[in-house]
A and B are shown apart, each in its own frame.
Chain A
Amino acid sequence: MAKSVYVAATIATIAIILIVLFSVQLNEESRISKINEEVRQISLDSELQSAYADFDVNNKVVYCAVLEQNIKTSSNRLSSLEKTLQNYKSNSFNSEEFYYAKRSYLITSMVLYRNLEKAKVSCDLNIKTVLFFYAEDRSCEVECGIIGTQLNELSRECKTFKDFHFPYSWYLYDFTKILEVKYGVTESGTLVVDGEVLPKGLSMEELSKKLGC
């Protein structure tokens, strides 16, 4: 008798786990599709900016107005997306989906950053661009945590800058290496403001001053 009990209990356990996993999968698919939709929307905005830049760069009034508007909406979307992704990462079974979503997010961030840099030149946009290179592992937990929080705090009150967060030398997203090379970033926890690498350990006031707040 007992053998059949062990088998039945094992089958029942597996069945329940599969049912729950299936529900989780459905739930995650809906979440990841929302994330992908957001990324696609930002990507479309970036493409629109590129199209304006290619076809109508001389008509600064229209081009710059569209650009400014798009950058604003994309930036807002991007920052909320970053938080969603972070939540997704720590609570998801589907690491592959997360990898693709994060990859799209980072590429979109890079495009947005490039557009912003272009707009600064073409449209005299008065905004500082900040690149923050954090560590994907726990090697920069304290320092990166502080910088991340400082940037969050400042970005809530101060609209003079737009920050972009990229993982420092992380094998899964090695395409961001181009930014590290361009600005000579050699370690995680580095901030680059308007192309200038900032010294480490800045206080809130010092960082605020650097960001023009």
Chain B
Amino acid sequence: MRETLKLGLYDRGLLLFVLAVFVFVVLLLSFFVPAIYLILIFNAIFLFSIFFYLMLFLNKHDLGKARAPKNFPSITVIIPCFNSKSTILDCINSVKRMKYKKKVNILVVDDCSTDGSREILEKIKGIELLKLEKNCGKSIAVNTALKKVKTEFVICIDSDSFPESDVLMKTMGYFEDASIASVSCLVLSNKRDNLLRKIQNLEYAIGFGLANTLLSSINSSYAVPGPFTIFRKKVFDIVGYYESGNLAEDMEFGLRMKSYSMRIVNCHEAVVYTDVPGTLRGLFIQRNRWYRGGTFNFIRYKKLLFNKKNPDFGFFVMPFLFATQVLIVAVLLRMVLFFANDIYTFVSIFSQYISLGGFFSIPLINIFIPPTMLFFLASYVLIAIYFAICFTEANYKLKWSDILPLLVLILIYPYFISFTYSQGYLKEVFGVGEKWRRVSM
């Protein structure tokens, strides 16, 4: 576990200021605008984002499809490995199974594993093994390998990820367009043995699938996911290597690529499987890292905001994403404040009432379905349509056993994500230390 980078005082102050403005506006609205209108506003924002994706899909529905290569340039696959005894062999085997008309170099960097991974790696034939003498972290491990790469293309893959055999045949064709710097794939969960993993699998099918493809259609994807991304080697020569100590080093690298106006595209027909957290605690740690890293990197790359070189990204995607994320934190803080007030009122009434010897009763006549339900209904119908398109595009056939995870994903999971994001944001604001921890097991 290593200490990570922290924001400077100015950036933390900026985050705090933005949050304070949002909280102020939300509280102001809460006091002066009926709650029903607030729900309407939040619903409108949500509806807009869903419609935005749907419209993008209608405009460019041929994106994200497989593109077979005509030429077969040289490729090196870099696999950083740290204590991955249980997955590294399968990972390498799946890489070896990838179909390609030229030999694919495999460069594994052992980041001073202590669980026996190194011994396993030493026995594997057909790979080049780099051994680090001390544990330096994923970024340094990958960077060490990158400096040795001589091929035209590089694939960075996590040691707990497993590409399908046809990934290269579906993605390398994209690079025949010289403007494309990097191609990412659809990432799915390797195991689906419990509810949490099933939920994440569906979440990935949407987020790493069509959503990412649609963003890339307006040159606004900044995702170069750790589980599997293909880069032109010269990308690293131009923008530099991965940043060490960054909680979300792949996101940082993606944003850095955007700052150089590089084009990242997503092919959601190419599938890579990865291990995802199987426990709530593990998921919380992972998402905390992602969202903290996200906040950290967004503020670091604030220069991309309203940047004319990437108009869709600079004027819409980045401000919209950042604003909705801060809004989530503000709304959550408002909920906590109001909830605390409600709890205080309830306890006051209850204790005084009990002391007066009375009893509580809830008249059922007071319960009825509010009109706001209609807004939620409209939103959920649109979500269902959008999800159906996402799953169809990802060639993911929904099974009956997916119904429960899907319902949890839509109805409950957003609250967990909102909470995790909020605490990540606040930790970043207050500069609470964090350590990089591996949680996929």
A91 & B372 in contact (Cβ 8 Å cutoff): yes
A10 to B52, CA, bound (A): 8
A20 & B349 in contact (Cβ 8 Å cutoff): no
Chain A residues whose C-beta falls within 8 Å of the C-beta of B37 in the assembled complex: 93
Select from chain A the residue with minimum beta-carbon distance to B317.
A2
Of the listed stretches A44-52, A61-69, A100-108, A141-149, name the one at the interface; the rest are far from the partner chain: A141-149
B349 & A153 in contact (Cβ 8 Å cutoff): no
Select from chain A the residue with minimum beta-carbon distance to B367.
A87
Question: Is B358 positioned at the interface, with any CB of A under 8 Å from its CB?
Answer: yes
A12 & B55 in contact (Cβ 8 Å cutoff): yes
Of the listed stretches A22-30, A124-132, A178-186, name the one at the interface; the rest are far from the partner chain: A22-30
B51 & A8 in contact (Cβ 8 Å cutoff): yes
**Residues of A1-55 contacting chain B, CB below 8 A:** 1-2, 4-6, 8-10, 12-13, 16-17, 19-20, 23-24, 27-28
Given the contacts A23-B374, A142-B345, A146-B356, A2 and B218 also touching, CB distance less than 8 Å: yes
Distance in angstroms from B230 CB to nearest chain A CB is 25
Question: Is A75 positioned at the interface, with any CB of B under 8 Å from its CB?
Answer: no
Given the contacts A5-B52, A142-B352, A93 and B36 also touching, CB distance less than 8 Å: yes
Given the contacts A91-B36, A146-B353, A20 and B378 also touching, CB distance less than 8 Å: yes
Chain A residues whose C-beta falls within 8 Å of the C-beta of B36 in the assembled complex: 91-93
Chain A residues whose C-beta falls within 8 Å of the C-beta of B357 in the assembled complex: 203-205
Question: Is B433 positioned at the interface, with any CB of A under 8 Å from its CB?
Answer: no
Interface string of B328-370 (1 = CB under 8 A from A): 0000000000000000010011001100111111010110101
Chain B residues whose C-beta falls within 8 Å of the C-beta of A19 in the assembled complex: 378
A40 to B56, CA, bound (A): 53
Which residue from A1, A16, A27 sits with its C-beta under 8 Å from B371? A27
A146 to B40, CA, bound (A): 33
A88 to B18, CA, bound (A): 36
Distance in angstroms from A203 CB to nearest chain B CB is 5
B371 & A12 in contact (Cβ 8 Å cutoff): no
Chain B residues whose C-beta falls within 8 Å of the C-beta of A92 in the assembled complex: 34, 36, 371
A11 to B353, CA, bound (A): 52
Question: Is A59 positioned at the interface, with any CB of B under 8 Å from its CB?
Answer: no
A91 to B48, CA, bound (A): 23
A5 & B55 in contact (Cβ 8 Å cutoff): yes
Which residue from A5, A24, A142 sits with its C-beta under 8 Å from B374? A24
Question: Is B312 positioned at the interface, with any CB of A under 8 Å from its CB?
Answer: yes
B48 & A9 in contact (Cβ 8 Å cutoff): yes
A150 to B354, CA, bound (A): 11
Question: Is B59 positioned at the interface, with any CB of A under 8 Å from its CB?
Answer: yes
A: interface residue count bin: 35 or more
Chain B residues whose C-beta falls within 8 Å of the C-beta of A146 in the assembled complex: 349, 352-353, 356
Question: Is B44 positioned at the interface, with any CB of A under 8 Å from its CB?
Answer: yes
Main secondary structure on A side of the interface with B: helix
Which residue from B44, B361, B370 sits with its C-beta under 8 Å from A13? B44
Given the contacts A91-B36, A91-B370, A95-B34, A150 and B378 also touching, CB distance less than 8 Å: no
Chain A residues whose C-beta falls within 8 Å of the C-beta of B311 in the assembled complex: 2
A13 & B353 in contact (Cβ 8 Å cutoff): no
Question: Is A209 positioned at the interface, with any CB of B under 8 Å from its CB?
Answer: no
Select from chain B the residue with minimum beta-carbon distance to A141.
B345
Chain B residues whose C-beta falls within 8 Å of the C-beta of A16 in the assembled complex: 47, 51, 378, 382
Given the contacts A5-B59, A10-B48, A93-B371, A149 and B312 also touching, CB distance less than 8 Å: no
A9 to B53, CA, bound (A): 8
Given the contacts A9-B55, A20-B374, A87-B368, A153 and B47 also touching, CB distance less than 8 Å: no
A200 to B44, CA, bound (A): 47
Question: Is B441 positioned at the interface, with any CB of A under 8 Å from its CB?
Answer: no
B356 & A204 in contact (Cβ 8 Å cutoff): yes
B40 & A17 in contact (Cβ 8 Å cutoff): yes
Given the contacts A5-B55, A149-B349, A28 and B371 also touching, CB distance less than 8 Å: yes
Chain A residues whose C-beta falls within 8 Å of the C-beta of B51 in the assembled complex: 8-9, 12-13, 16
A6 & B316 in contact (Cβ 8 Å cutoff): yes
Select from chain A the residue with minimum beta-carbon distance to B35.
A90
Chain A residues whose C-beta falls within 8 Å of the C-beta of B380 in the assembled complex: none
A152 to B35, CA, bound (A): 27
A205 to B371, CA, bound (A): 40
A8 to B48, CA, bound (A): 10
Interface string of B21-59 (1 = CB under 8 A from A): 000000000000011110010011001100110111001
Select from chain A the residue with minimum beta-carbon distance to B316.
A6
B371 & A150 in contact (Cβ 8 Å cutoff): no
B371 & A13 in contact (Cβ 8 Å cutoff): no
Given the contacts A91-B372, A204-B358, A9 and B52 also touching, CB distance less than 8 Å: yes
Interface string of B1-21 (1 = CB under 8 A from A): 000000000000000000000
A87 & B374 in contact (Cβ 8 Å cutoff): no
Which residue from B312, B316, B349, B370 sits with its C-beta under 8 Å from A145? B349
6 contacts across the A-B interface (CB closer than 8 A): A2-B311, A2-B312, A9-B52, A20-B374, A80-B365, A152-B361
